[in-house]
Each structure stands twice: as structure tokens, then as C-alpha cells.
Amino acid sequence: MIRDSANETQDMIVLEKMPFSVFDYETVKGYRNVMRATRPNHVWENLDDEDFLLKLGAIGRGEDEKLHPTAAGLLMFGFEHEIAREYPQYFLDYQEHFDAALRWTDRITSTSGEWSGNL
């Protein structure tokens, strides 16, 4: 309750040491495509990426008046190596277990290099 009582939540923190160029724009594009499919004609649909990310809360203005990723924006749209610079313990590990005789049937980790590694 104490954490949630603040006006600014932890995911809204602007990471002023990072430019918003740390984002994987293929992820942004994919997110926008899902949003178009699930919320057609949304008022943000025609915004450019910068304005869209501002409205979404993925980027914000720092004290230097420049745009930087927010904590949530970095996790959602950042590259894994950039996320790990801010959150050194960051590691996603997805495993599918369909056969009890096998350790896992399929496994994907954020450090595999096969994808951006973000949420």
C-alpha cells in the first residue's frame, strides 16, 4: 500500500541516463499492430512513434527536457543488453514442459540473441 500510494510509481521513473534510442522498434511496431487489431480506431492510432510512446508512458521528459525511456518503457520495448545495464539481475526464462522424461520441451531465454529479450 505504501508503494502504491506515491504519485509516481516505480515504472513511471524516467531513466535520464538512457536515450530512448535503446528501444527495439520492431517491438514497438508489433505492439502497435496488436493495439490496432484489438482496439481499432483508437485515438492514438495515427500518432507518430514518439507521441505514441509519450502517451503510453514508455518515454518521458527528464530534467534536461530531453526524452528518455521510463522504467516500464525500457522493460517493454528495450533491448535485453540495455535492460540488463539498468537491471543487472534481469533474465527471462520461458520453458514448456510437455514430456516428464525431458528437462523441458522448449525453452527461450532473454539472453539467447534470438529476439530482443524484452517483455
- Residues 7-27: pLDDT tens digits? 778 889 999 999 978 999 999
- Residues 73-106: pLDDT tens digits? 999 999 999 999 999 999 888 888 888 887 767 7
Q: Which pLDDT score is estimated for 93?
A: 85
119 found inside a domain: no
Grid coordinates given for 99: 514430456
Question: Could you give the percent of the chain with pLDDT greater than 70?
Answer: 94
Q: Name the pTM for this structure.
A: 0.83
117 found inside a domain: no
114 found inside a domain: no
12 found inside a domain: yes
Q: Which pLDDT score is estimated for 2?
A: 61
**Residue 21 one-letter amino acid:** S
56 found inside a domain: yes
DSSP state of 13: -
77 close to 31: Cβ distance less than 8 angstroms: yes
DSSP string, 35-62: HHHHSTT-TTTTS-HHHHHHHHTSEEE-
User: What domain range includes position 103?
Assistant: 3-109
13 found inside a domain: yes
User: Based on the structure, what is the number of domains in the chain?
Assistant: 1
115 found inside a domain: no
53 found inside a domain: yes
